[in-house]
Amino acid sequence: MRSRATIQYALPSRILHWLMAAMVVVQLFIAAVMMASLAYYPLLLAIHKPLGIVILIFIVFRIGNLFLHRPPPAMSTMGPWERRFAKGSEILLYALLLIQPLIGWAMLSAAGGPLTIGPVQLPPIAPEQVGLFGLLRIFHSVAAYLLFLTFTAHLCAVLFHTVVLRDGLLSRMAPWTRRLTSGESDFTSSADSNPQPVTEGRGVSD
């Protein structure tokens, strides 16, 4: 009998996933408008910096959460290459979401500006140097483009599975708890402590 752990991500993983997805979309949008509009630059930067620090805090929680809740096994509709590609892009997303806010913070430290989030003043994490600021500024742009591309590829893959293959991939990460069908249990049996790849095929929907 398959347990919930083999068909859906754990609830904390799903909550963190959707909160972070929303924050990253908003952050990229704010950054793009901020760089295009002089009038709104100060206001948008004042949102961009604390939001980036919140994303940093969330990704640290999310990495910790990986050790607490293992993801369900890959679906049978994914071939070996797609599984490798999916794993690689997830690792890249995690790495970028950790590195990008740190680059932003280090960039401000190199510029000599204090980083104040509400009543809290964060310490500098890089020496005050104009040359270093220039370099980190370039890295911040490159990481943002990479993040955008990886995020878009991830989104396209999920859309392909959901709309074309219709294999129920999205329901594994749905914020709501998936209804169990016969042959599925809410409890993890001893056989599920080492879950095998799920053999879900076309037409599994919720």
Q: Which of 1, 15, 22, 35 lies at the binding interface for ligand HEM (CB under 6 A)?
A: 35
The CB-of-45 to ligand HEM minimum distance in angstroms stands at 6
Q: Is 105 in the site for ligand HEM (CB under 6 A)?
A: yes
Cα 111 from Cα 132, distance rounded (Å): 8
Of 4, 14, 62, 140, the residue at the interface with ligand HEM (CB under 6 A) is 140
Residues 11-30 that bind ligand HEM (CB under 6 A): 27-28
User: Least distance in Å: CB of 30 to ligand HEM?
Assistant: 8
Closest approach of ligand HEM to the CB of residue 156, in Å: 19
- Residue choice 20, 136, 147, 198 for contact with ligand HEM (CB under 6 A): 147
Interaction of residue 55 with ligand HEM, rule CB under 6 A? yes
Pairing, β 120-122 against β 184-185: unpaired
Determine if 168 is a binding residue for ligand HEM (CB under 6 A).
no
> Residue 55 burial (CB < 10 Å; 0-12/13-18/19+)?
buried
The label of the residue with tokens 């760089």 reads 35
Residues that contact ligand HEM, how many (by CB under 6 A): 22
Which residue of 37, 141, 196, 199 would you call a contact of ligand HEM, by CB under 6 A? 141
Residues that bind ligand HEM (CB under 6 A): 27-28, 31, 35, 45, 48-49, 52-53, 55, 97, 100-101, 104-105, 108, 115, 137, 140-141, 144, 147
